Chain A
């Protein structure tokens, strides 16, 4: 479904990704794990289009989207839940969710999608008239994911959903993500620093280190692999 071929990308004159290739099949759950600064966010942003690639190709459903504008890629169903939540603080919860359905394909089914999101996150329904800025970190993350779901994604990309959350809240978010994947059967690309949590959920994973893919394998081989600790903290 998604084929990233040797892309290089960066910003501010720095080249963050160098010749990175990954694959994602329909309905698969793939995790991208690695230390900070490795380029995980940049990889997701290259796919969603908010960062321009300097070389390489990206194929989505066999269409090369490398030159497509970001807001058009959402039209294909590539939906990213950005790092740090990035919900709209001065809009209410309901308005945030409604905006998730901005893209024309999703607008027709706002009511049903809202229902599904509220079932997943009852607290959002409770506080739907509240301004999003009053929410705590964990609640904002739920709102961000809910907003992503409102867009009727074919590929859901999550950028460090547990960032800044306590381990307990993080676990809750991961449970929700698992539920989403099993219930809705959409393809999920998860970027995370918390290696175990991410690997537990995935079918396959990639380790990204300083802009390069170091290993690509299935869950069993990656779990507990010492290469991961070395990527993060090195050896002396």
Chain B
């Protein structure tokens, strides 16, 4: 029942009540502990680390961009508010937001160029900044800043009783968790998680990856700036550069978040509740004999976690829960539908696809009724001419097959059509408009969809959610996106598994999911990249039927394929490439008897001896 209401986009209280309960639990513990300052302080630290890690989770967990220099924002927020308080007597409540703004600003300035880097380069770049901050801040004379105690209670965010800080922390935590949950369920959140798993595919699905990453980065930084302020005022009495910008901060954040479950809402909560008390008690116990023992343990925990438990505790729990869910239902389905789900549908080709929302039938200025025109396109790749003066006109509503031997330029042509590459010469027109240098996400919004040769499945989401990523390209509203996705899933015979996680799919299910996702972007033109890869003849036939069904509903299809003998059975029209040039064009019959094509595929000797002219 809840699932139904969620589908309809109603606000589900059940989603948010547990979060509030966490805050209540914290207050309960606080109450039970009583006035003992020592334990209250540990509780406060637990809550603060939950906050920082939740913030971190947005960009690094959900977004998958692990920011190794994250402590910059803790320090930025903290230092800003403390310095404003100390030297300009600015109220810390205001200073807190100023600090957060400073952190967000830094995130923008750093993130804009840095988020274009990937992997190693990105991670290492972010580390330089906090390490740079330390000597600069020290040089400005703020290596050690004593936070003056004005003793005005709530006015100056300075309470003698730690329990008020715990209350503050609990409220902040609930707010942060609510923010994370809202992100999870929103279009922004889906885009974030998609780009984490596969950035190129996400781009092809219409996600403006750079913008999404930057926003997530700034949001994380802003919230951390707030947490940093609270951390300084409630824990530190002396603000020092190592305490604010030290490497140990990121190691602790990583340990806690990974142990709990990175990219999950409960991960930081569980991780902090587990590690922080242990860490603090250890530090108190052996700290005088063995300073640094706590961080040593965190280092070891981080090592162990990433090797043996990379999904974290909550990740493991959800995996077990999912396995339990799919097992019995799979058995049920096997009983109900005894036919092999792998075999092609007995009814023949799937029913044609009428799109849920009617597309604007704006045909633009198409001179010859062609929906896409590639004009004299040339592309160089490090000295190799991948494409040389290629012109292709794609008739609307037909299936165009592109063939050619390895290295002929087929994939390059696709990438140019799709916006991943820009040609050195020539232009691309879509519905009469020049789209030569537009990016994939723009073209997706305009109506060009794409499937990938190796299906890019987002494993951490359900099948339906995978399709929804596509739907979100042109549909902002989550409810309608879901409706579109469900309809397409039904036509693609995936409904029986729509709510299952997208793992362990058969090869045909994977391909059908790939098509579903592309169709959900409501394309007028769809680029299909080697759909027959890895299929046997029966399975190839089934894919051919799917493609025919798509074309019948009015969507133009362009297919690259190696398995020519399958392609000739359903293509209306074909183009042959060899060494970057177009060497053949016409009906399938014409193209496969073209001597250039025969030579390109079978060799010159075969053509001379055996090809019928």
Q: Judge A-B direct contact (beta carbons within 8 Å).
A: yes
Interface residues of A (CB under 8 A from B): 10, 12-16, 18, 35-37, 163-164, 167, 170, 193-197, 209-212, 224, 226, 228-236
- Does B536 reach chain A (CB closer than 8 Å)? yes
- Does B413 reach chain A (CB closer than 8 Å)? no
Q: A163-B406, A234-B565, A236-B592 are in contact. Are A224 and B601 (CB under 8 A)?
A: no
> B603–A196 contact, CB under 8 A?
yes
- Most chain B CB within a 10 A radius of its CB, from A196, A226, A232: A232
Nearest chain A CB to B595's CB is how many angstroms away? 12
| Contact pattern, B 511-545, Cβ under 8 Å of A = 1, otherwise 0 | 00000000000000000001011111100100000
Question: Which of chain B's residues have a CB closer than 8 A to the CB of A16?
Answer: 533-534
> Measured between alpha carbons, how far is A210 from B566 in the docked complex, in Å?
10
> B536–A212 contact, CB under 8 A?
yes
> Measured between alpha carbons, how far is A226 from B612 in the docked complex, in Å?
10
A-B contact pairs, 15 of them (CB 8 A): A10-B534, A35-B562, A35-B565, A163-B406, A193-B601, A193-B602, A224-B609, A232-B564, A232-B601, A233-B598, A234-B566, A234-B569, A236-B568, A236-B588, A236-B589
> Measured between alpha carbons, how far is A210 from B407 in the docked complex, in Å?
19
> A167–B562 contact, CB under 8 A?
no
> Measured between alpha carbons, how far is A12 from B563 in the docked complex, in Å?
18
- Kindly report which residue of chain B lies nearest to residue A160, judged by CB atoms: B406
Question: Which of chain A's residues have a CB closer than 8 A to the CB of B149?
Answer: none
> Measured between alpha carbons, how far is A234 from B532 in the docked complex, in Å?
14
> A37–B563 contact, CB under 8 A?
yes
Question: Which of chain B's residues have a CB closer than 8 A to the CB of A211?
Answer: 534, 536
> Measured between alpha carbons, how far is A37 from B536 in the docked complex, in Å?
11
> Measured between alpha carbons, how far is A194 from B407 in the docked complex, in Å?
15
- Does B31 reach chain A (CB closer than 8 Å)? no
Further pairs besides A228-B606, A233-B598: 18, Cβ < 8 Å? A13-B507, A14-B533, A36-B562, A37-B563, A167-B604, A193-B405, A194-B606, A195-B603, A195-B606, A197-B605, A212-B536, A224-B610, A229-B610, A232-B602, A233-B597, A233-B601, A234-B592, A236-B588
The 6 closest A-B pairs by CB, nearest first: A234-B565, A14-B534, A194-B603, A37-B562, A196-B605, A233-B592
Question: Which of chain A's residues have a CB closer than 8 A to the CB of B563?
Answer: 35, 37, 210
Question: Which of chain A's residues have a CB closer than 8 A to the CB of B609?
Answer: 196, 224
Q: A12-B454, A234-B568 are in contact. Are A195 and B602 (CB under 8 A)?
A: yes
- Kindly report which residue of chain A lies nearest to residue B505, judged by CB atoms: A13
Question: Which of chain A's residues have a CB closer than 8 A to the CB of B565?
Answer: 35, 209, 230-235
Interface residues of B (CB under 8 A from A): 405-407, 454-455, 507, 510, 530, 532-537, 540, 562-569, 587-589, 592, 597-598, 601-606, 609-611
> Measured between alpha carbons, how far is A233 from B611 in the docked complex, in Å?
12
Question: Which of chain A's residues have a CB closer than 8 A to the CB of B405?
Answer: 36, 193
> B603–A210 contact, CB under 8 A?
no
> Measured between alpha carbons, how far is A163 from B535 in the docked complex, in Å?
24
> Measured between alpha carbons, how far is A92 from B71 in the docked complex, in Å?
46
Question: Which of chain A's residues have a CB closer than 8 A to the CB of B589?
Answer: 236
> Measured between alpha carbons, how far is A37 from B567 in the docked complex, in Å?
13
> Measured between alpha carbons, how far is A196 from B604 in the docked complex, in Å?
9
- Kindly report which residue of chain A lies nearest to residue B566, judged by CB atoms: A234
Question: Which of chain B's residues have a CB closer than 8 A to the CB of A36?
Answer: 405-406, 562, 601
> A167–B603 contact, CB under 8 A?
yes
> Measured between alpha carbons, how far is A35 from B532 in the docked complex, in Å?
13
- Kindly report which residue of chain A lies nearest to residue B562, judged by CB atoms: A37
Nearest chain A CB to B610's CB is how many angstroms away? 5
- Kindly report which residue of chain B lies nearest to residue A233, judged by CB atoms: B592
> A210–B536 contact, CB under 8 A?
yes
- Kindly report which residue of chain A lies nearest to residue B405, judged by CB atoms: A36
> Measured between alpha carbons, how far is A212 from B535 in the docked complex, in Å?
10
> A235–B602 contact, CB under 8 A?
no
Question: Which of chain B's residues have a CB closer than 8 A to the CB of A224?
Answer: 609-610
> Measured between alpha carbons, how far is A77 from B565 in the docked complex, in Å?
37
Question: Which of chain A's residues have a CB closer than 8 A to the CB of B533?
Answer: 14, 16, 37
> Measured between alpha carbons, how far is A196 from B592 in the docked complex, in Å?
18
Question: Which of chain B's residues have a CB closer than 8 A to the CB of A194?
Answer: 602-603, 605-606
- Kindly report which residue of chain B lies nearest to residue A42, judged by CB atoms: B534
> B598–A229 contact, CB under 8 A?
yes
> Measured between alpha carbons, how far is A211 from B537 in the docked complex, in Å?
9
Nearest chain B CB to A161's CB is how many angstroms away? 13
Question: Which of chain B's residues have a CB closer than 8 A to the CB of A210?
Answer: 532, 535-537, 540, 563, 566
Selected from A164, A193, A231, the residue in CB contact (under 8 A) with B603 is A193
- Kindly report which residue of chain A lies nearest to residue B510, judged by CB atoms: A13
Nearest chain A CB to B68's CB is how many angstroms away? 30
Nearest chain B CB to A213's CB is how many angstroms away? 13
- Kindly report which residue of chain B lies nearest to residue A212, judged by CB atoms: B536
> Measured between alpha carbons, how far is A209 from B566 in the docked complex, in Å?
11
> Measured between alpha carbons, how far is A194 from B405 in the docked complex, in Å?
11
> Measured between alpha carbons, how far is A163 from B600 in the docked complex, in Å?
11
> Measured between alpha carbons, how far is A89 from B594 in the docked complex, in Å?
38
Question: Which of chain B's residues have a CB closer than 8 A to the CB of A15?
Answer: 507, 534
Q: A193-B405, A196-B609 are in contact. Are A14 and B562 (CB under 8 A)?
A: no
> B603–A235 contact, CB under 8 A?
no
Selected from A37, A228, A236, the residue in CB contact (under 8 A) with B530 is A37
Question: Which of chain A's residues have a CB closer than 8 A to the CB of B604?
Answer: 167
> Measured between alpha carbons, how far is A234 from B574 in the docked complex, in Å?
13
- Kindly report which residue of chain B lies nearest to residue A226, judged by CB atoms: B610
> Measured between alpha carbons, how far is A36 from B560 in the docked complex, in Å?
13
> Measured between alpha carbons, how far is A235 from B568 in the docked complex, in Å?
7
Nearest chain A CB to B45's CB is how many angstroms away? 45
Question: Which of chain A's residues have a CB closer than 8 A to the CB of B611?
Answer: 229
Nearest chain B CB to A31's CB is how many angstroms away? 13
